[in-house]
Amino acid sequence: MKITIVGAGPSGLYFAILMKKLDRAHEITLLERDAPNDTFGWGIVFSDQTFDYLKENDIKSFNAINRACQRWDNVDVVHKDEKVTVRGNHFSGVSRLAFLNILHKRCLELGVDLKFNSNVADLNELPPCDLLVGADGANSLVRRTFKKAFDPTVDLRKNKYIWLGTHQLFHGLTLTFREHEAGLFIAHSYKFDDSTSTFIVECGDATWRNARFDWRSDPETCEYLSEVFKKDLGGHALLSNNFVRWLNFPLVKNKHWHHNNVVLLGDALHTAHFSIGSGTKLALEDAIALAKCFKARLDVPHALAEFERVRKPVVDEYQVAANSSLVMFENAEEMMHLEPIDLAYRLMTRSKKIDYEKLKKRDPEFIAAYDKWKSQQKGRKRK
Ligand SMILES: Cc1cc2nc3c(=O)[nH]c(=O)nc-3n(C[C@H](O)[C@H](O)[C@H](O)COP(=O)(O)OP(=O)(O)OC[C@H]3O[C@@H](n4cnc5c(N)ncnc54)[C@H](O)[C@@H]3O)c2cc1C
């Protein structure tokens, strides 16, 4: 088969790897507008489950990714200057660049024609192929080109976010709430190598305007936010890279997932708010699911239909969970009166995937402290 993939993010790269593994005779061209060492973002987090999938599907890249990862089992919630730790939540953090570089290497080993610095401006310029994959991210050109057929919705959410880094090491997935003169700021941070942490800041539109971010340069933005999170950064600066922009999270959905010989994967097809750390996992699982349809020897139209049939319910479920999480962060101001332990409990159970019983199994000490706090509250109310 002649396969053209637009976009060498996690979904495009992994799909290329799996298809080459299925049959080396596939001619796969992967077009990426950036250079191999350019990427937006700093580190990404994965839940453990993702790694089983990677292990089953390509042991070589799995081993390399595994070696590049940092691991932790705690979520820390910082509120009113108090840190509440919830253990038993296994995550791995990895530099997005290191992760992509591993997949680049694997693609090249397998004979994928990986072309960097190749921006696709018009799909008509591409040579004919049997399968065209739009793995070109949330602002997908492939999706926009076939807008009528895919029937997408892109809901730009109301909070602004910016993806920064820092050399302060956050040993765990840390959610920090800081009330500042401009309004509420929330940081999502975790270390992803021995010297660097991801530090994503989000805030409401009013806070963003009060802080005059529309007038601030990148260094000024970092400086301002370093001041907001001074107590958390231990004297370390916030760092930007060339890809830093304040954005509104685009919640992407598509009514139809394929059209003729064209299919979408990953963020081009669906996004899940970064607060549940599942975007990359979903992108990789899409690649796995689509490759499986070809492994079953289905032809292109049947493989694409089967991909949608199998995968859509799973993605829909994730999007529901991610949406509850997104909405909670959008309305975080309403929770700022909560005690830190109560806020931590509500955050842990926000996506409805984790409940009281699961938390009790994961971290009995946390639940004991939460129960104690609750009974104290009841006692106070009775008096
Ligand atoms: C702030 C933030 C934090 C996140 N944190 C996490 C996290 O911790 N864990 C997690 O799992 N996920 C996280 N995600 C989500 C994750 O980044 C995405 O879900 C994931 O990268 C999707 O992979 P993809 O391959 O579909 O698309 P992308 O990674 O977006 O890759 C698309 C590629 O296509 C290329 N491209 C686009 N248009 C063209 C074109 N016209 N021609 C050629 N190339 C093109 C782009 O340069 C890019 O390399 C986060 C996202 C954001 C915004």
Please report, rounded to a whole number, the percentage of residues in the chain having pLDDT higher than 70: 98
CA of 337 to the centre of ligand 1 (A): 35
Per mean pLDDT, which of 20-34, 213-227, 270-284 is the most reliable?
A: 20-34
Report yes or no on 54 lying in a domain. yes
Report yes or no on 350 lying in a domain. no
Report yes or no on 182 lying in a domain. no
Ligand 1 atom closest to 280 (CA): 11
Report yes or no on 167 lying in a domain. no
Which residue has the CA at smallest separation from atom 3 of ligand 1? 274
Residue 12 belongs to a domain with what CATH number?
Answer: 3.50.50.60
- Burial classification of residue 38, based on how many CB atoms lie within 10 Å of its CB (0-12 exposed, 13-18 middle, 19 or more buried): middle
Question: Tell me, what's the pLDDT at 380?
Answer: 77
Which residue has the CA at smallest separation from atom 4 of ligand 1? 274
- Burial classification of residue 282, based on how many CB atoms lie within 10 Å of its CB (0-12 exposed, 13-18 middle, 19 or more buried): buried
Ligand 1 atom closest to 286 (CA): 26
Report yes or no on 256 lying in a domain. yes
Q: Which domain holds residue 298?
A: 2-68+93-155+250-330
Report yes or no on 118 lying in a domain. yes
**How big is the chain, counted in residues?**
383
Mutation probe of ligand 1 site: the residue of 18, 29, 33 with most atoms within 8 A of C-beta: 33
Helix (H, G, I), strand (E, B), or coil: what is residue 373?
helix
Report yes or no on 30 lying in a domain. yes
CA of 267 to the centre of ligand 1 (A): 6
CA 86 – CA 168 distance, rounded (Å) = 20
pLDDT in tens, 287-315: 999 999 999 998 999 999 999 999 999 99
CA 309 – CA 69 distance, rounded (Å) = 33
Helix (H, G, I), strand (E, B), or coil: what is residue 304?
helix
DSSP 76-132: EEEETTEEEEE----EEEEEHHHHHHHHHHHHHHHT-EEESS-----GGGSPP-SEE
pLDDT in tens, 357-376: 999 999 999 999 999 999 99
CA of 113 to the centre of ligand 1 (A): 20
- Residue 335's nearest CA partner among 201, 186, 225 is 186
Question: Tell me, what's the pLDDT at 244?
Answer: 67
Which residue has the CA at smallest separation from atom 35 of ligand 1? 7
Ligand 1 atom closest to 247 (CA): 53
pLDDT in tens, 131-184: 999 999 999 999 999 999 999 999 999 999 999 999 999 999 999 999 999 999
Q: What is the mean pLDDT of the chain?
A: 94
Report yes or no on 199 lying in a domain. no
Average pLDDT for 329-345: 97
- Stated pTM of the model: 0.95
Ligand 1 residue neighbourhood (C-beta within 6 Å): 6-12, 31-34, 41, 44-45, 119-120, 135-137, 141, 161, 163, 200, 266-268, 274, 277-281, 283
CA of 365 to the centre of ligand 1 (A): 37
Question: Tell me, what's the pLDDT at 243?
Answer: 62
pLDDT in tens, 237-263: 999 876 668 999 999 999 999 999 999
- Structural domain count of the chain: 1
Residue 276 predicted with pLDDT over 90: no
CA 242 – CA 247 distance, rounded (Å) = 14
Helix (H, G, I), strand (E, B), or coil: what is residue 177?
strand
